[in-house]
Chain A
Amino acid sequence: MLFRVLPGSPVPLGEQIAACVRGAIADGTAAPGERLPPAREVAESLGVNVHTVLRGYQRLRDESLIELRRGRGAVITAAPGAAGQARLTEAVHGIIGQARELGLTDEEFLALVHHGLASTPVPARPGSGGAAH
């Protein structure tokens, strides 16, 4: 697991740490079941506060990308679709960054997303339309 953070960046350090793990899950360099280094060790390595690292780990747990267990540390989830979920979250962060660059307000951006959702039909899920056959 490779962590790269810029202390001078406007993005909070915890978010940057979460982004490193998310990116590794998205591109497959971090495999399901892989154990993340203990927060204390990451904090020592990066020279940041241990709570900052824990905030990043908690963010990943909220996104269901890792499991935090007492005594076992942080483990990348083995649930199917985690990599896809991570890629989607990355993409969302990407378009939010673009929207901010263009100076869109949050309302304008959300309206854009709503409009996009409304004009895109929900595809039939494979396996859920069994009765129609």
Chain B
Amino acid sequence: MTAIRRGTLAAVPYAVATAAYAGVFLANEDRLPGRIATHFSTGGGADDYMSRDGALWFGCALLVGLGLLFTVLTLVSKESAGSRLNTAVGVGTAVTVGYPLILTVLLNTDVQDPADVHLPLWHVAVLLVAGLATGALAWWLMGPGPRPEPAPPAPSLPLAEGEAVAWSRTMMSRVLLITAGAVTLVGAVTLVFGPWQAGLAPLVLGPVCAAFAGVRVTVDRRGLTVTSTVLPRPRLALPLGSIVGADSVEVDPVGEFGGWGYRIRPNRRGVLLRSGEALSVRTAKGREYVVTIDDSTTAAALLNGLTDRHAREHH
């Protein structure tokens, strides 16, 4: 199911719930007391109240707000693994929130004193079960999403015996560089004109950030090495023996890793300076390393060629 359709699936229950709530409310408006019971104790008796108009606006705002939140979350998470769960939870929540809202209106209808309103506790069980059921239904409806089609085996550069090879490329993040420059400048200005203690942190942080705005990715007989263009350490090094295969992929740092920089996810690590083309390397331990770099097809093919040769030589 595409992201747009998932977004629709997340939005529709809230639209329906809002329409139903407003519809039921307006249809019964004449029969509702001026103050209506909106909160109930564990015994089922009313213990908090709201004005009639206030309740209408509160209910609609709550449903529309939640609807927007879940729709945006679904659209942002796109095809990633969390998208299906996001949508299912959103749909379930629409029922769990919409049901008691509408029920409150119905319970308050034709009541003289809102203090007399009584909410039977079994409704709580109903709304929880109904929420879970619709959430599960949405989960089932969406299906597992577009299975990442079994990618054709990544090309492998055939290497001659004894041939020495190396691939190296740098990637510069202009955004990070400008940000680091701005932070350093703020630090320097604060140091001179403001309290010097406050200026110290940005003055140190800026250059450190700048050092990681550029990374060099190297593929050679030692495997994969990712390092800052100016500092020798820290570095990310994957020896050839630990690598199973490599591929060129398209990466969406926000959707897949929750941001830029060095990102850690279960069984995934990322060095992400931008979105788009990236080198993906799988290790024998089942971990995937994703590094954003141009010309990643060449890097992946060379890494596969080196891995193949390494396997031939060691078996």
Chain A positions within 8 Å of B, measured between CB atoms, are 1-8, 29, 35, 37, 41-42, 44-48
Contacts and interface: CB of A to CB of B under 8 A. Distances in A.
A24 to B, nearest CB: 10
B24 to A, nearest CB: 65
Nearest to B302: A2
Nearest to A6: B163
Interface in B262-315: 295, 298, 302
A65 to B, nearest CB: 18
B163 A4 contact: yes
A92 B209 CA distance: 47
Given A1-B168, A2-B167, A2-B298, A41 B162 contact: no
A7 B162 CA distance: 7
Given A45-B220, A46-B220, A1 B167 contact: yes
7 contacts: A3-B164, A3-B167, A6-B160, A7-B162, A7-B164, A29-B295, A45-B218
Nearest to A35: B170
B221 interface: yes
Contacts of B170: 35
A45 B224 CA distance: 11
Nearest to A37: B168
Contacts, number: 53
A24 B222 CA distance: 23
A3 B221 CA distance: 12
Given A29-B295, A35-B170, A48 B164 contact: yes
Contact of A5 (B163, B167, B168, B295): B163
Nearest to B222: A45
Given A29-B295, A41-B218, A46 B166 contact: yes
B164 A5 contact: yes
A76 B106 CA distance: 76
A29 B167 CA distance: 13
B216 A37 contact: yes
Given A2-B167, A45-B168, A46-B221, 5 more contacts: A6-B162, A7-B162, A37-B166, A37-B168, A41-B168
B164 A47 contact: yes
Given A2-B298, A29-B295, A37-B216, A42 B164 contact: no
A7 B164 CA distance: 7
Nearest to B216: A37
A56 to B, nearest CB: 12
Contacts of B163: 4-6
B169 interface: yes
Contacts of A45: 166, 168, 218, 220-222
Contacts of A7: 162, 164
B165 interface: yes
B218 A37 contact: yes
A72 to B, nearest CB: 12
A41 B216 CA distance: 11
Contacts of A42: 166, 168
B167 to A, nearest CB: 5
Nearest to A3: B166
Contact of B169 (A1, A6, A44): A1
